[in-house]
Homo-oligomer: A and B are copies of this chain.
Amino acid sequence: MSSARQFVTVEGEFPMHRGEALLTPTIAYETWGELSTQKDNAVLIFTGLSPSAHVASSPGDPAPGWWEEIVGPGRAVDTRRFFVICVNSLGSCFGSTGPASTNPETGETYRCAFPVLSLEDVARGGLEVIGHLGVERLYATIGPSMGGMSALAFEILFPGLSEGLLLISSATRALPFATALRSLQREMIRRDPNWLDGNYTPDALPVTGMRLARKLGMITYRSAEEWNERLGRERSAEQRETGNPFAASFEIETYLEHHASKFAGQFDPNCYLYLSQASDFFDVADHGVSVETGIKKIQTSRTMVIGVATDILYPLHQQQELAKQFERLGSKIEFVGLPSIQGHDSFLVDMDNFRPVIARFFEA
């Protein structure tokens, strides 16, 4: 476990958005930089489905974070200037309470007895963390991917807390194509004979389901264009499995295999199912009679929406529509469409395109 990881334990009951409550849940987070004496420089980051709160390296945890090139001293989100906070989503398995945690009321692991998870709950987890840190107002909230939906939930539930909002490759609600893909990923895990309705044992995890789900994830997180450029029809250099006529032949297959192996052992399957389903359930329209009335509850004074041309999961037109919703609010809104070829994951890898845009948002 990272020694940079900090925790806040919520006293008493934590009400869940779709009913039931958690008793004394923990929210894990990390911070970088210092809160100014005016307490006006805090930046809150919600993450995508799978990352931990380890956005960037720090003295306590020198391992590179998932946004190492964006967050740090002198970087686009400059930690010499800003007090950056990243929360591990409630329901995840990197320190925050989730289906893999012990239910204090029963002494058993929650598993599928965990209440239905909503991104509104993830948002409330963020509120608990900033409250604990004495932050009363945020300079900005950042949310990429699922984190963008959590950030929207946060702004809708707790209006007026954030001055700025930076949404990256996100959504007011999932489109059916994205839901189809996520639903299939969930089914791959659930159909693994080792899943056992969530009651898998540590020595027999539903690894096959997790690997298949991750492969489909990678297919939808990256893009056809990137693979045309990077991989083409290159044959796999790895030794073929003997006796298997369907073993990997192409470099693209070896690439997926590599990512699946990396992921399958490190993420709890039930946590994955809960967070994935929360992404599909989220709908800004639930906070009004329509997406428009839901968005109207937001009180940020400036918002930036970034989308990527090759994203098939949260497509560019969806980002444009999201930006238009903010235009109607009358607050400052900037929409940026980037030509990155790495698809939905571009914000993690295409630093040449993302760095200057994010820097501009924070220089403002």
Please list the residues of chain A having a beta carbon within 8 angstroms of any beta carbon in chain B: 112, 116, 173-177, 179-181, 183-184, 186-188, 190-191, 193, 208, 212, 215-216, 218-219, 223-224, 227-228, 231-233, 245-246, 248-253, 256, 273, 277, 280-281, 283, 312, 315
* In contact, A245 and B116 (Cβ under 8 angstroms): yes
Which of A228, A251, A312 is the most central at the interface, judged by chain B CB atoms within 10 Å of its CB? A228
Residue among B184, B246, B312 making CB contact with A215, cutoff 8 Å: B184
A230 (CB) vs chain B CBs: closest residue: B176
**A228 CA / B186 CA spacing, docked (Å):** 21
- Complex copy number for this chain: 2
- Measured between beta carbons, the chain B residues less than 8 angstroms from A256 are 180, 183-184
Would you give the shortest CB distance from A100 to chain B, in whole angstroms?
A: 15
* In contact, A227 and B180 (Cβ under 8 angstroms): yes
* In contact, A176 and B233 (Cβ under 8 angstroms): yes
* In contact, B176 and A227 (Cβ under 8 angstroms): yes
Would you give the shortest CB distance from A242 to chain B, in whole angstroms?
A: 13
Since A176-B232, A180-B252, A184-B212 are in contact, a sample of 16 more A-B pairs with Cβ atoms closer than 8 Å, ordered by chain A residue number, is: A112-B245, A116-B245, A174-B233, A176-B227, A176-B231, A177-B219, A177-B223, A177-B228, A179-B233, A183-B248, A187-B246, A188-B212, A212-B212, A224-B312, A246-B277, A249-B280
Would you give the shortest CB distance from A251 to chain B, in whole angstroms?
A: 8
**A184 CA / B233 CA spacing, docked (Å):** 16
Would you give the shortest CB distance from A12 to chain B, in whole angstroms?
A: 25
- Measured between beta carbons, the chain B residues less than 8 angstroms from A228 are 175-177
* In contact, B246 and A186 (Cβ under 8 angstroms): yes
* In contact, B250 and A280 (Cβ under 8 angstroms): yes
**A231 CA / B315 CA spacing, docked (Å):** 17
Would you give the shortest CB distance from A181 to chain B, in whole angstroms?
A: 6
* In contact, B224 and A175 (Cβ under 8 angstroms): yes
Would you give the shortest CB distance from A309 to chain B, in whole angstroms?
A: 14
Residue among B177, B190, B216 making CB contact with A246, cutoff 8 Å: B190
- Measured between beta carbons, the chain B residues less than 8 angstroms from A181 are 219
* In contact, A227 and B183 (Cβ under 8 angstroms): no
A227 (CB) vs chain B CBs: closest residue: B176
- Measured between beta carbons, the chain B residues less than 8 angstroms from A312 are 224, 312
**A118 CA / B125 CA spacing, docked (Å):** 55
**A245 CA / B315 CA spacing, docked (Å):** 28
The 7 lowest CB-CB distance pairs between A and B, nearest first, are A177-B224, A176-B227, A176-B252, A176-B231, A183-B253, A191-B208, A180-B252
- Measured between beta carbons, the chain B residues less than 8 angstroms from A175 are 224, 227-228
**A249 CA / B112 CA spacing, docked (Å):** 17
* In contact, A179 and B250 (Cβ under 8 angstroms): yes
* In contact, A227 and B184 (Cβ under 8 angstroms): no
**A174 CA / B112 CA spacing, docked (Å):** 41
Q: List 18 A-B contacts (CB under 8 A).
A: A175-B224, A175-B228, A176-B224, A176-B251, A176-B252, A179-B252, A180-B218, A180-B252, A180-B256, A181-B219, A183-B248, A184-B216, A187-B212, A188-B212, A212-B212, A216-B216, A246-B277, A249-B280
- Measured between beta carbons, the chain B residues less than 8 angstroms from A283 are 233
**A356 CA / B249 CA spacing, docked (Å):** 40
Would you give the shortest CB distance from A341 to chain B, in whole angstroms?
A: 12
**A253 CA / B212 CA spacing, docked (Å):** 18
**A251 CA / B215 CA spacing, docked (Å):** 24
* In contact, B252 and A273 (Cβ under 8 angstroms): no
**A128 CA / B315 CA spacing, docked (Å):** 47
